[in-house]
């Protein structure tokens, strides 16, 4: 489960970085670029959910 924890933290840090970029783009009034960062943030969120469920299922199988 240690690998899952570090991978989940890495994905979470990438999401924080994308959120920071989105705030910077918003404050610079480049609204046309926001959709790309929003899409990337959504993709990283979905990837984090998939990684979480994958390692949760892996832990269940290893306990049996």
Question: Global pTM?
Answer: 0.67
Residue 38 has a pLDDT of 85
Full residue range of the structural domain in which residue 53 is found: 2-63
> What is the structure's pLDDT at 56?
80
Q: Which two tokens stand for residue 22?
A: 């989105």
Position 50 pLDDT exceeds 70: yes
Residue with tokens 């049996």: 64
Distance CA 43, CA 11 (A): 10
Report pLDDT for 58.
80
Domain tally, the chain: 1
Q: What is the pLDDT of residues 14-49, one digit of tens each?
A: 888 888 988 998 999 888 888 888 888 888 888 888
Q: Is the pLDDT of residue 1 over 80?
A: no
DSSP for residue 33: G
CA distances from 14 to 18, 54, 58, 63 (A): 6, 19, 24, 31
């Amino acid at each position: 489960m240690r690998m899952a924890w570090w991978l989940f933290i890495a994905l979470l840090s990438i999401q924080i970085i994308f959120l920071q970029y989105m705030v910077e783009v918003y404050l610079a009034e480049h609204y046309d670029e926001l959709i790309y960062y929003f899409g990337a943030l959504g993709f990283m969120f979905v990837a984090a959910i998939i990684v979480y469920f994958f390692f949760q299922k892996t832990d269940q199988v290893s306990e049996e």
